[in-house]
Amino acid sequence: MTAAVRCQGIVQIYKTRDLEVVALRDVDLAVEEGETVALLGPSGAGKSTLLCLMAGLLRPSAGRLWLHGTEVSRLPQAALDRLRAAEIGVVLQNPARNLIPYATPAQNVAFAQRGRRADRRRIAELLERVGLAGVRRPAGGLSGGEQQRLAVAVALANRPRLLLADEPTSQLDAASGRAVIALPRATAAEHGTTVVAVTHDEAVSRALGRTVTIRDGRVGAEGRRGEELVVVGREGALQLPPEYHHLLPPGSRVRVEPLEDGVALRRAEP
């Protein structure tokens, strides 16, 4: 089966006037079609950067990225734009950036169906499911939470194969957060949509099938069904889970002892 997303050795460097920031270093990750993934990790870890790369909004500085088998890191811009319009729904971190401020919620969803005839039933159903049925104020006048809910409806307007969302519930209370995340989940279940969502919200990450934790620009850990596993990176690099940092603080010298099914790490006396 072709993965929905495959990242191989992805590096992302932002160059500003007088310094370079390495936001991602050697990210290897595959997301299978129909999977629902929560991207976790501390602020500044590189989560938004990874999501923008998957959305085709950024080109990686190095490494290769495939979406549904097409290598997008090498695709000409026009072909990338077509692929994005046809296959990807994106909810950016700042909800207002996803919306046309002077258009109503229904017009925003209709506009996102560009290239197709507006599907009135679909528009009404999406707005109903995010609790905005009958709201006719322009998007610019909606609250942050309402804008966030509308942004999810807009991202799903075209029935994308891949939904990418950056903290889609950050401005919602727990109940509307659950309602908003229920929509992509239902879409995933009904249409096999792949969902990748950056989130700090435990209820959201529990609702998704798999967690991927980004730390310091790398995939540090992965979880499924509540079990969190550390991922061995290139050259054998490991990120200790934060709860063990006091046992092996940074700078510790460690003896690596082979076991039958792995290794043990023991602090050597200085």
Ligand X SMILES: Nc1ncnc2c1ncn2[C@@H]1O[C@H](COP(=O)(O)OP(=O)(O)O)[C@@H](O)[C@H]1O
Q: Which positions touch ligand X (CB under 6 A)?
A: 14, 16, 21, 23, 41, 43-49
Taking the least distance from each CB to ligand X, the nearer of 5 and 130 is 5
Kindly tell me the burial class for residue 135, based on how many C-beta atoms sit within 10 Å of its own C-beta (0-12, 13-18, 19 or more).
middle
Interacting stretch for Mg ion, rule CB under 5 A, among 47-55, 101-109, 213-221, 233-241? 47-55
Q: Considering beta carbons, is residue 183 or 212 the nearer one to ligand X?
A: 212
**Residue 237 contacts which entry, Mg ion, ligand X, none (Cβ below 5-8 A, type-dependent):** none
Residue 49 interacting entry, from Mg ion, ligand X, none, C-beta within 5 to 8 Å by type = ligand X
Shortest distance (Å) from residue 169 CB to ligand X? 15
Compute the least distance from the CB of residue 30 to ligand X, in Å: 20
Please report where in the chains the tokens 């510790």 appear, as a residue: 252
Residue 97 · residue 151 · CB < 8 Å:
no
The distance of closest approach from Cβ of residue 48 to Mg ion in the complex, given in angstroms and rounded to an integer, is 3
Closest C-alpha to 185, from 152, 154, 214: 152
Q: Give residues with Cβ within 8 angstroms of 4, minimum separation 6.
A: 31, 32, 33, 34, 35, 67, 68, 161, 162, 194
Smallest distance, Å, CB 166 to Mg ion? 6
Spatial CA neighbour of 193 closest among 156, 166, 223, 224: 156
Q: Which of residues 169-188 bind Mg ion (CB under 5 A)?
A: none
Residue number, 75 or 92, with CB nearest to ligand X: 92
Tell me the closest approach of the beta carbon of residue 147 to ligand X, in angstroms.
19
Phi then psi dihedrals of residue 148, to 5 deg: -65, -40
Minimum CB distance to ligand X, residue 9 (Å): 18
Q: Please return the burial class of 1, using the count of CB atoms within 10 Å of its CB with bins 0-12, 13-18 and 19+.
A: exposed
Q: How many CA atoms lie within 13 A of 108 on its CB side?
A: 32
Among 5, 7, 10, 48, binds Mg ion (CB under 5 A): 48
Helix axes 144-155, 105-112, angle to 10 degrees: 30
Nearer to Mg ion, 48 or 147 (CB): 48
| Residues making contact with Mg ion (CB under 5 A) | 48
